[in-house]
Structure 1
Amino acid sequence: MVFTMFDNEKLDKILERDFTNVFRLGHINVEGVVMPKRFAEMKSEILNWNVNENDVWICSFPKTGTTWTQEMVWMIMNNLDFEKGKTNLGIRSPFLEVTALFDYRNFQKENTDFHPPPFIEDSLKFVKESSQNGPLCIKTHLPWPLLPKEIRDNIKKPKIIYVTRNPKDTCISYYNHSKLMEGYKGNFENFCELFLAGKLSFAPYWNHIFPFWERRNQPNILFLKYEKMIDDLPSVIKEVADFLEKPLTSENIDALSKHLSFESMKNNPSVNYEVVIGMHRKFKLIECEGNFMRSGKVGDYKAKMSPDIIQKFNDWTEENTKNTDFSY
């Protein structure tokens, strides 16, 4: 990929100053990917993961529609069991590497009454134990080079659903998420620079998308765009159900569409991450107001980004997609 020139030394200092805290102890570069430091302890186990081909992997760059897709996929795989769906999504569709994002160990030593959910405290252990109960919907933000070797080498071919979203709306959503849940203390302009320069966790952005885009015609990979989900959710539900070989009736599709509406998702405690947000606020790990799900709109960036930043994003997008067949 081609990237605009950035002052990397300056941005590294900003990342260290504004995006380290009691549970984010710093960042490292792994195979060209920015990751929280704790990922170094998890890397080998993930790369050598014993993949179950009956599992479904939901892959994405952060804040591109992952939670929405998780809930859709889990519901389809579980025959629209809305009652069972009241269980927290972190339990039903575990996030493989989430422990790297929230390294609570030092905080726990000094706060013995602090008990994070097991699906966050040791996510790899939780996923392994959960797999004993049947096929899983596994969420991951890991880009292609950091996925298990058995997937990358086509030794195992589980179904993979990749979802992406235009970078400007992604950046806005990632910024709000980072302040609300991950302890980012800086301003929006610096966050945009970090995003464009590929300095945030799971970045660079384009390097995340294209390996999946290039494999979109493999029978075990389905590539989705957030914008289409917004524009025509029922057709995407049908597409996903057919891909999973769990076809739905029109009545099922209508019911699931209502369940997946923005207002329904925003008010659903099993998917809106209030458990984690409440825990962070209770123990004063983060001082930030807001909700995990804010607007869900396409073009939300227009109300936040300055014309100068929008132009930077437009130029950067054109630069990185000009020799590809990809667009939003």
Structure 2
Amino acid sequence: MSTVCVDSAKLIADAARVQCDSKGGHDTWKKVYKYKGYTVSWMQSPENLEALQTFEVKDDDIFCVTYPKAGTHWIWEIISLLLAEGDVTKLDRSVMNTMLDLTLAPSPELAQYATPGYKTIETFPSPRVIPTHVMEPCFPPQWKTKKPKVIYFARNPKDLLVSFFHFAKDSVDPEFSTWEGFMKLFLSEEVPNGSWFDHVLRYWKHKDEPNFLFLKYEDCHKDLKSSVAKVAKFLEKDLSDDVIERITELCTMKGMKQTYDQIEDKYQDAGKMFTHLFGQLPFLRKGVVGDWKNYFTPEQNELFDKYYEDKMAGSGLTFDFEL
């Protein structure tokens, strides 16, 4: 069984490199479906989302929920290091790109060789840290009857859009591969994974539930140590100030990039499979607040602000767009 898994992973990785070299990207967002009114990519397939409806949730599960490019690997690192009490050597890097709702393969044709994320997570030892981009109506229903911890990590949509554009522009149809075209896609109802506004507002409604923590990307930038301590308290991890300080240092953008460099130095090409999607698209880029100002024209910013104000009206949810 292990040989089959290794061979499949190598096949997918090799195919990913060929695709990237020949076409400048992947087919990740070029084939989409409709599921319960949402547009989903073939990686987040209707079959995967349907399977989540019977996914067995455990009381000690920890879900970290994000919209794509909202800081998934940042919050994963914080949670994982808290559970490891700051010992970075205890982290299993092989699971860094496992997502509950995704089947990670560079093309639909290769998906048959990849194991869906939810099946891989079923084998994780407890407590399981479970990253997911899944929309709230498609979340495993057992989270309402069991007592898992759910952390939603939210990022302001302007910076998220910039990061998403850099990550996905070579993987979408040509009409959406420009900055202007990708912004139109992002503000439409056809964006894969559903509208950011729908995603964030549906989870925001759970903010007062005792097993739910709504955390903002920008707050981590303003005071990372306090944010780490907040997550530790939520996870009921009573750690010393020295351990919290160490985790904080490791989870700065500088610290995480150093860690990722060390992973790549240690494992070479295999290391990039942990720190990049298919070994090609880096999970970390700038990791800053306010980079959107380098991309939005005044007209685009005005249009976006009007759309944002209309969608967010009455929600009580606000974001910092610069620090």
**Structure 2: how far apart are the matches of 1:146 and 1:108?**
21
How far does the alpha carbon of each residue in 1:195-246 deviate from its partner, in whole angstroms, 9 at most, with x for none?
A: 1113222121111111221111100000001110000000001100000000
**Cα shift at 1:69:** 0.4
Give yes or no for the alignment of 1:211 onto 2:211.
no
Show the counterpart of 1:30.
35
1:15 alignment partner in structure 2? none
Query: Are 1:231 and 2:225 an aligned pair?
Result: no
1:94 is aligned to 98
CA–CA distance in structure 1, aligned partners of residues 299 and 141 of structure 2: 41
Corresponding residue to 1:123 among 117, 122, 142: 117
Structure 2 counterpart of 1:136, from 128, 135, 138: 128
- Go from structure 1 to structure 2 and tell me whether the alpha carbon gap of 1:299 and 1:92 turns closer, same or farther (over 3 Å shift): closer
Query: How does 1:1-328 map onto structure 2 within 5 Å?
Result: 22=27, 24=29, 26-37=31-42, 39-85=45-91, 87-88=92-93, 90-91=94-95, 94-99=98-103, 102=105, 104=107, 106-107=109-110, 121-130=115-124, 133-151=125-143, 154-179=144-169, 182=171, 185=174, 186-269=177-260, 274-275=272-273, 277=276, 279=278, 291-328=282-319
Output the CA distance in 2 between the equivalents of 1:45 and 1:170. 28
1:238-296 deviation digits (Å, cap 9, x = unpaired):
10000000022211111111100111212323889832648555xxxxxxxx7432211
Whether the 8 Å contact between 1:198 and 1:205 is mirrored in structure 2 is no
Return the alpha-carbon distance in structure 1 between the equivalents of residues 249 and 226 of structure 2: 13
Task: Output the CA distance in 1 between the equivalents of 2:152 and 2:100.
Answer: 15
My pick for the range that moved more, 312-321 or 225-234, is 312-321
Q: Which residue of 2 aligns with 1:14?
A: none
Residues 150 and 212 of structure 2 are in contact (CA less than 8 Å); yes or no, is this contact kept in structure 1? yes
What CA distance in whole angstroms lies between the structure 2 residues aligned with 1:161 and 1:222?
5
CA contact (8 A) 1:94 1:137 kept: no
The two structures, once aligned, show a CA RMSD in angstroms of 2.7
Distance 1:177 1:212, change over 3 A: same
Unaligned 5+ runs, structure 1: 1-17, 110-114, 282-289
Shift of 1:70: 0.5
Deviations 1:79-120 (A, max 9, x none): 2221122x42x5168311220x636452489xxxxx8xxxx6
Q: CA deviation at 1:155?
A: 1.3
- State the alpha-carbon separation in 2 of the partners of residues 169 and 105 from structure 1: 29
**How far apart are the structure 2 equivalents of 1:278 and 1:211?**
27
**2:54 & 2:76 partners in 1: Cα distance?**
24
Describe the shift of the 1:307–1:102 C-alpha distance in structure 2 as closer, same or farther (beyond 3 A).
farther
**Structure 1 residue 21: deviation in Å?**
5.4
Q: 2 CA distance for matches of 1:42 and 1:215?
A: 24
* TM-score normalised per structure 2: 0.80
* Structure 2 SS opposite 1:129: coil
CA distance in 2, matches of 1:212, 1:105: 30
1:84–1:208 Cα change, 3 Å: same
1:320/1:36 CA distance change after superposition, 3 Å:
same
> CA–CA distance in 1 between the matches of 2:74 and 2:62?
15
Cα shift readout 1:139-173 (whole Å, capped 9, x = no counterpart): 0001110101212xx21221000010111001001
Point out 4+ residue stretches in structure 1 off by more than 3 angstroms: 20-25, 101-105, 182-185, 270-273, 276-281
Question: Which fold has the larger relative contact order, with Cα–Cα distance below 8 Å and residues 6 or more apart in sequence?
Answer: 1
Please tell me whether the aligned partners of residues 65 and 153 of structure 2 are also in contact (alpha carbons under 8 angstroms).
yes
* 1:318 Cα deviation from its structure 2 partner: 0.7
Return closer, same or farther for 1:256/1:275 CA change in 2, 3 Å cut-off.
Answer: same
Q: Distance in 2 between matches of 1:212 and 1:278?
A: 26
Partner of 1:5: none
Q: Structure 1 length as normaliser, TM-score?
A: 0.79
Match of 1:207, as an amino acid? D
Deviates more, 1:246-255 or 1:263-272: 263-272
Aligned length: 286
Give the counterpart letter for 1:231 in structure 2.
K
* 1:21-52 alpha-carbon deviations (Å, 9 max, x no partner): 54555112222322113512212211111111
